Amino acid sequence: MVEGGWDAQQVVVRVARCSDRSDIAGLVEQFTADAIVEAGGRTVQGRDGIFEFFGGANATPSETERTKHVVTNTLVEVDGAALVATSYWQVLRSWGTANWGRYVDRFEHDGDRWLIAHRSVVVDGSVARPDVPKA
């Protein structure tokens, strides 16, 4: 395995778990101070921008995970002093699979740990939430 690859993979998983728990503060800690996230046609930069993008102060951490991010097939490669990880993901909701795609993460080492400096979220497919059945 690529040196630092395990650590990078754990950051990818930690972001998913924090998202599932609406622990946005914990999620943001996995990114560099000036990180960029590209998702859903939007680009945000910096921890404050990422915090707001993922719900900000309206997101209340919970131990009840109603959403599950499943992350698989993470491939980590070296790119100079950085690592690049590509992962497949899918989001499961109570009604089924909501969407799926790929994360492409560029990691930088801050002296102590690997952090995401750039995340591109590629949505390969999605399913609209079904209508609530009528009584």
User: Does 134 have pLDDT greater than 80?
Assistant: no
Domain span holding position 86:
5-56+65-126
The separation between CA 131 and the C-alpha centre of its own chain, rounded to angstroms, equals 27
Q: Does a structural domain hold residue 133?
A: no
Tokens of 103: 């994360």
Q: What's the confidence (pLDDT) of residue 65?
A: 64
Q: Does a structural domain hold residue 131?
A: no
Q: Does a structural domain hold residue 134?
A: no
Q: How far apart are CA 44 and CA 81, in angstroms?
A: 24
Q: Does a structural domain hold residue 92?
A: yes
Q: How many CB atoms lie within 10 A of CB 87?
A: 20
**Residue scoring higher pLDDT (74 or 129):** 74
Strand partners, 95: none
Tell me the per-residue pLDDT of 16-67, one tens digit each, with 9 for 90 and over: 999 999 899 999 999 999 999 999 999 999 999 999 999 988 887 777 767 8
Q: Does a structural domain hold residue 135?
A: no
Confidence of residue 95 (pLDDT cuts 50, 70, 90): confident
Residue whose token pair is 């490669």: 77
**Residue scoring higher pLDDT (15 or 1):** 15
Q: What's the confidence (pLDDT) of residue 113?
A: 96
Do 68 and 49 touch, CB atoms closer than 8 A? no
Three-state SS for 10?
A: helix
Do 61 and 87 touch, CB atoms closer than 8 A? no
- Domain count for the chain, please give it: 1
Q: What is the CATH number of the domain that holds 115?
A: 3.10.450.50
Q: Pairing relation of β-strands 42-45 and 31-39? A: antiparallel
Q: What's the confidence (pLDDT) of residue 130?
A: 80
Tokens of 108: 């930088």
Q: How many CB atoms lie within 10 A of CB 9?
A: 21
Query: What's the predicted TM-score (pTM) here?
Result: 0.90
Q: Does a structural domain hold residue 47?
A: yes
Do 71 and 100 touch, CB atoms closer than 8 A? no
Tell me the per-residue pLDDT of 64-91, one tens digit each, with 9 for 90 and over: 767 899 999 999 999 999 999 999 999 9
User: Does 129 have pLDDT greater than 70?
Assistant: yes
Tokens of 30: 């996995």
Q: Does a structural domain hold residue 132?
A: no
